[in-house]
Amino acid sequence: MAKRKVRNPPRKVTTAQQVVNDAPVPPVSQGHIDPQLQEHIGRQLQALYNEVLEEPVPERFLTLLSELERKRDQQP
């Protein structure tokens, strides 16, 4: 008797847009956001920007900056 292959069901792929669309939306009254939600968003944005500020400047940008400074210094 031949063995039957068992197929796994296809996985559901979730895109970032689906995650955003499926997220619960807090009630907004007359254009105002709940203060706790506003504070949470503020903390998340601050954490994100702090990470960006701590990243090193790429070498190619440093090279471009030094070339620009050199050209600026050569102008009369």
Q: What span, in angstroms and rounded, lies between the C-alpha atoms of 70 and 73? A: 5
| pLDDT score, position 5 | 57
| pLDDT score, position 35 | 86
| pLDDT score, position 16 | 54
* Residues spanned by the domain of 60: 34-76
Residues 8-22 pLDDT 10s: 555 555 555 555 566
Is 66 inside a domain boundary?
yes
pLDDT, averaged per 10 consecutive residues of the chain (76 residues), comes to: 56 55 60 84 90 90 94 86
Is 10 inside a domain boundary?
no
Question: Which amino acid would we find at residue 8?
Answer: N
Question: Rg (Cα) of the chain, in Å, rounded?
Answer: 26
Say how many domains are in the chain: 1
34, 26 Cβ separation under 8 angstroms: yes
Kindly report whether the global pTM for this prediction surpasses the value 0.75.
no
| pLDDT score, position 76 | 72
Helices (H), the chain: 16-22, 35-54, 59-74
Q: What span, in angstroms and rounded, lies between the C-alpha atoms of 50 and 54? A: 6
Is 25 inside a domain boundary?
no
